[in-house]
Structure 1
Amino acid sequence: MELSKGTKVAIWAGSICLFHVIGMLVFRAFIYADMYIAPEDAYGISDLIELLIGAVFLVFFDGIYFIIFHI
């Protein structure tokens, strides 16, 4: 059985997204809690890192959506 190009892209993209979500969860569970937040600050560097990770995920996922449904 041969897979079409779109199916291969979808499988590849799904696995990358899955690993990214797992990475985000690992960061949140094991690293985020140990990072320092100053008492007077509303957010710390860990919140900025989490925002960056989430933004990368959204940009990547949007790019994959465009590739799958517009090619």
Structure 2
Amino acid sequence: MEDPAEHKPPTFWQMLHSVLAAAFGVQTGKNRARDFTHGKPAHFIALGTAFTLVFILVLIGLVQLAMHLTAR
């Protein structure tokens, strides 16, 4: 018997988990199948773009911090 939860769209946390897994290049086949069958591409694109922006800002902040600490 099929689980009715398998036919629901992924939650925000499931999508975030998928985006993070994609960033590291690891994803289970079950989650990938769920994302492709029940997820909306626009949601993943928006979340992926937001993640990428935050990642870039964190890297810029770390570089600025390193430059500040070595300039002493």
For the superposition of Structure 1 and Structure 2, which TM-score range results when normalised by the shorter chain? 0.3 to 0.5
TM-score (norm 1): 0.43
TM-score (norm 2): 0.43
